[in-house]
Amino acid sequence: MGEVLTNIWDKILRTFQQGNNPLWRHWFEQLEPLSLDGGILRIGVAEESWRQYLHQRCSEGLTSAAQKITGHFVTIEYAMPGERTEADKQIAEQAKPHDNEITYFNPDYTFDNFVVGPSNRLAHAACVAVSESPGETYNPLFIHGSVGLGKTHLMQAACQALKKRNHDYNILYLTCESFVNDFVRALRHGDLYDFRYKYRHVDVLVIDDIQFLTEKEQSQEEFFHTFNSLYQSRKQIIISADSPPSEIPRLEDRLVSRFNQGLVTRIDNPAYETRMAILYNKAALRGINPPEDVISFIAERIVSNTRELEGALTKVYGYAMLGNGEITMELARQALGVESIPRHSQITISQIIDVVTEHFNVKLSDLQSKRRSRSIAYPRQICMYLARELTRHSLEEIGGHFGGRDHTTVMHSCRNIDNLCDHDQAVRELVDSLVARLTKN
């Protein structure tokens, strides 16, 4: 039965991966089939975070795959070493989400899987410090930044590190919306005592998206007293928001003051090198190994946040799974909707500048200046577009040739020319003619 069960499980995993590649993680290969009896497939997992991830994110897909492979109705249970079936059922029931309360930590969200760069170095260091000395080093810790930059990752990483350090730590991690909903429910049912006991008798309180308190006077009042109770007891408080405390609209001054008395740190958009490292990290988590030029291609075009980087990688991987499984530059361009122009390693930015300045009758000093008139800005954008398409220079390097402009300016220029090529035949023909001149040899 052992070899047969292993073969069945391997087929289930392959079927699940084909239909759910965004959920696939490299550690799935370490899951061990224990038994298939009475319509119950028991799978051994090595870590509690793995089991919670499987319960929350993968149960439907794995169950569907199991039923497809076996041809029978199958229920999947996940077991830690030495556990009994009854215990699994209890844990599965406990793992069901209630409202918006976060009931598990994503196993991907650890410090080891977080890519540190100039944009997030302080926030990362602060979360590590908090995980080592909760309630002492930075309390409260307030992290702010736009969506998809890693706030949730860092907070969950701190929680998981704390749990590993001391399994008995009582950590309450939830969204601010959950806190408000819980408070409203307590008011409605007269359960304020239980509510306050729940929130004020924890070792660590972690609240995501605190800006949700805006215009909720009673909730702000309750959170203020909860904050004071925990702070005076030297319990750790970690908070995230999309902006610093003073810029959250209609947030009471006393709360702003409390948040500012600890460490307030910002996470910015990742630089090109950090985006590259993030993509390599995300690829490794899924057990895939895209070529370096594909990683560079995605990093150059997705400049906003980690979430969009991961989405682009997922899309490229999805396209590969539909074909022969090979990830190539041409496939990446197709997946991300970018028209392919062959790159020529012998072409330099200086050659591109020579051709463009001759065509538009402008000087290099004009292209490198701060002037924004169309007669200068347009040929400058053409130069940047051609440099991106015909050379392997990074966006930062391209910007450096045009007066030290940053990567976002280069990306904006490239998108503008892309859009013009799509909607203006004259621009398309001009770009094609310039490319022809540059590649004729």
Could you read off the pLDDT of 302-316 as tens digits, one per residue? Answer: 877 788 888 888 888
Contact 209, 144 (CB under 8 A): no
In 3-state terms, what secondary structure has residue 276?
A: helix
In 3-state terms, what secondary structure has residue 341?
A: coil
The mean pLDDT of 389-395, rounded to a whole number, is 78
The C-alpha angle with vertex 339 and arms to 336 and 344, in degrees rounded to 5, equals 115
Q: Output the pLDDT for position 103.
A: 52
399, pLDDT greater than 90: no
Q: Output the pLDDT for position 92.
A: 43
Q: What is the pLDDT of residues 319-378, one digit of tens each?
A: 887 777 788 888 888 888 765 445 444 688 889 999 999 999 998 888 888 888 888 999
Contact 181, 99 (CB under 8 A): yes
Residue 93 pLDDT level (bands cut at 50, 70, 90)? very low
In 3-state terms, what secondary structure has residue 41?
A: strand
Q: How far apart are CA 348 and CA 392, in angstroms?
A: 9
Burial (Cβ within 10 Å: 0-12, 13-18, ≥19) of residue 413: buried
Cβ contacts of 91 within 8 Å, gap of 6 or more: 51, 55
- At 25, give phi and psi (nearest 5°): -130, 150
Cα 409 to chain centroid distance, Å, stands at 23
Beta strand segments in 304-391, E: none
Q: Output the pLDDT for position 221.
A: 92
The C-alpha angle with vertex 29 and arms to 291 and 81, in degrees rounded to 5, equals 150
Residue 18 pLDDT level (bands cut at 50, 70, 90)? confident
Q: How far apart are CA 155 and CA 177, in angstroms?
A: 17
Mean pLDDT, all residues of the chain: 84
Q: What is the pLDDT of residues 120-152, one digit of tens each?
A: 999 999 999 999 999 888 999 999 988 888 899
pTM of the predicted structure, to 2 decimals: 0.61
Residue keyed to tokens 């224990």: 34
Maximum CA extent, the chain? 81
